Each structure stands twice: as structure tokens, then as C-alpha cells.
Amino acid sequence: MAQPITNNALREIFQSVLLKYWEYDVAPDFTNISDNDVLDLLNKEYPKIKKKVFGSYPWRSCIKYDVINAEEPEVNDDGRYKYRATVPSGFIKEYGYWSDAQRSNKLLYTNTVQGRTLKTNHKSLVMGYIADTQESEMDYWLIEYLEIAVAAELADIGGVSADQKNFLLQKMQYEEALARNKDYEMTQKDEISPTVHQFQEWC
């Protein structure tokens, strides 16, 4: 039996998808989603879209930093890397590596992630990564983009017309550009802006 959706921020996203973009007349019952095939499928497919959106750009509200102690010898990589460690919980994509907590010395070309394993030539380093972030912790522009991405990518679940699906796909591209621009603007204000090289890697 499917569990009720108790995350209020997630409820708001689903309500926006159903009522605003899929043009449903009535808000769903989030306490009994097993009786609602559309909501049940939406809930099951949502994590895939969320991960895709998070992996498309270094959203400021999703970047985390952890100190990694990679002391386990790496023995299966032809000598290219000396150590290995498990990536942090919630890891989605690499963002950057530094040798110090102040992130003043960036480490290039000496680290890689394969599956859930970080391979590196450093025993200790700071790892920046895109994390699976709770909806309540996301910036509003990312939420707005995520809503339209879910609505467009899962339009077939919602049973929308072909014309409405095309509209949603076009709007998704527009909202993505707006969200990226706003995120970049706020990142500049935070004075934690990535280098041009880092942004090119995500485009």
C-alpha cells in the first residue's frame, strides 16, 4: 500500500502540477494515494525527474560540502588513483574538490566518481556535490522550474492533450532559463560563484 504524502512542500508541487498545468478541477487526497492512479504514478516517477533536474545544473540550494577521508587503498584502477571512499549520502553529481576547508585551493583532474565510489589521489579533501535536497530547502525559482519539469516530462500520466504537452515542454525550457539566470545572479551575490570552467561543464 502506498504511503500518504506528508511532505507539505512536495504536496504543493503536486498540487501545482495537477491543478495548474494538468488542469484538474479538484485537489487530490494526499492521505490515500492508492485510490488515485494518477497521483500514485506521479509520486513514483517524481524522484527520477527531480534527480534529472538536479543533475542538469549546480543549483545553489542543492550544493553541499563534506570533508572526505579517503584512506582505503584503491587497488582496481591501474594505478591511476591511490585511494577510495564512499560518496556522501544523497550524492547526485560532483561539483568540485578542494584541499582545504576554506576552499581556496581547488584540486583538478585527480578525482573521479564511479557509482557510489570516489577515487582520488588525496587522503583528505573537501568534496562539493549536488545533493538530494528536501523541497522545503530549495530556492523558489528552482521549485517553479521543478513543477513545470514534472508536468512536462510526465504529461502522459496526466492525460493532457498533445497541444498542452507541447506547450508544457516549451514552457519548461523557458522556466529553466529563468531559473538558471536567477540562480547565477544569487550565486554571484553570495560570493561563492563557480568559475567559468565549472559552468561550462554543466551547460
Last residue of a domain, one of 131, 156, 173: 131
- Say if 2 falls within a structural domain: no
Same domain as 147, residue 110: no
Residues 38 and 20 in one domain: yes
53 occurs within a structural domain: yes
Same domain for 64 and 52: no
Q: Is the pLDDT of residue 195 over 50?
A: no
In the chain the first and final C-alpha atoms are separated, in Å, by 40
pLDDT tens digits, one per residue of 31-48: 877 778 899 899 999 999
pLDDT tens-digit series, residues 112-171: 999 999 999 999 999 999 999 999 999 999 999 999 999 999 999 999 999 999 999 999
Q: Are 107 and 68 in contact (CB under 8 A)?
A: no
Both 149 and 198 in one domain: the answer is yes
| 165 and 126 assigned to the same domain | no
Q: Which of 131, 147, 170 is the last residue of a domain?
A: 131
* Residue 20 and residue 118 in one domain: no
Cell, residue 194: 563557480
Same domain, 40 and 92: no
Co-location of 70 and 124 in the same domain: yes
Q: Which domain holds residue 78?
A: 60-131
Do 115 and 83 fall within a single domain?
Answer: yes
pLDDT of residue 32: 79
Q: Which residue would you say has higher pLDDT here, 8 or 1? A: 8
143 and 96 within one domain:
no
- pTM equals 0.85
In this structure, is residue 117 part of a structural domain? Answer: yes
192 vs 2, residue with greater confidence: 2
Flag whether 1 is in a domain: no
Rounded Cα distance between 73 and 125, Å, is 15
Residue 199 — pLDDT band, cuts 50, 70, 90? Answer: very low
Q: 123 with 64, same domain?
A: yes
Nearest to 70 by CA among 121, 129, 131, 109: 121
Total count of domains within the chain: 2
| End residue of a domain, out of 131, 146, 177 | 131
Edge-to-edge strand list for the sheet holding 72-73 = 72-73, 83-86, 117-120, 111-114
Phi, psi of 38 (to 5 degrees): -65, -50
Question: Are residue 65 and residue 28 in the same domain, yes or no?
Answer: no
